[in-house]
């Protein structure tokens, strides 16, 4: 009954070696978000997809890209990871249909902890 799934949970990559993190959801939500959370810091929004529409945050580095091939899946690509990209990457979803109590709620996945060597 997992709702937002992230794979892998732990990822180790080498400096400069491209890496892809994945997120899938069983909620059929039309919005998917990627957040970066560095150690002892707050989550920071990188970008989100509203259906197929990609919305990048102004200060997200070009090194970070995303793909959403269908409603269920969303990928985070880091083209050339640096030591400063080591962090927990959190995927979240939100459904915009309806107006009930959970209308605004974002559902977070367990995160992928990325280590860059």
Partner 1 sequence: GENVEQHPSTLSVQEGDSAVIKCTYSDSASNYFPWYKQELGKRPQLIIDIRSNVGEKKDQRIAVTLNKTAKHFSLHITETQPEDSAVYFCAASQGGADGLTFGKGTHLIIQP
Query: What does the binding site for partner 1 look like in residue numbers (CB under 8 A)?
Result: 30-31, 33, 35, 41-45, 48, 50, 55, 57-58, 90, 92, 94, 96, 104-106, 108-111, 113
Q: How far is the CB of 57 from partner 1 (least distance, A)?
A: 8
Ramachandran category for residue 19: left, alpha or beta (phi over 0 → left; psi -120 to 50 → alpha):
beta
What is the C-alpha separation between 34 and 54, in angstroms, rounded? 11
Cβ distance to partner 1 smaller for residue 17 or 105? 105
Total H helices, total E strands in the chain? 0, 11
Cβ distance to partner 1 smaller for residue 50 or 73? 50
Q: How many CA atoms lie within 13 A of 95 on its CB side?
A: 15
Q: How far is the CB of 98 from partner 1 (least distance, A)?
A: 14
Q: How far is the CB of 16 from partner 1 (least distance, A)?
A: 27
């Amino acid at each position: 009954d997992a709702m937002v799934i992230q794979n892998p949970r732990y990822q180790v990559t080498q400096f400069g070696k491209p890496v892809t993190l994945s997120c899938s959801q069983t909620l059929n939500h039309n919005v998917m978000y990627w957040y970066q959370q560095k150690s002892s810091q707050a989550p920071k929004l990188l970008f989100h997809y509203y259906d197929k529409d990609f919305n990048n945050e102004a200060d997200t580095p070009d090194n970070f890209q995303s793909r959403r091939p269908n409603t269920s899946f969303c990928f985070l690509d880091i083209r050339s990871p640096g030591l400063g990209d080591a962090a927990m990457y959190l995927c979240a979803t939100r459904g915009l249909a309806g107006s009930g109590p959970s209308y605004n709620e974002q559902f977070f996945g367990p995160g992928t902890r990325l280590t860059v060597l």
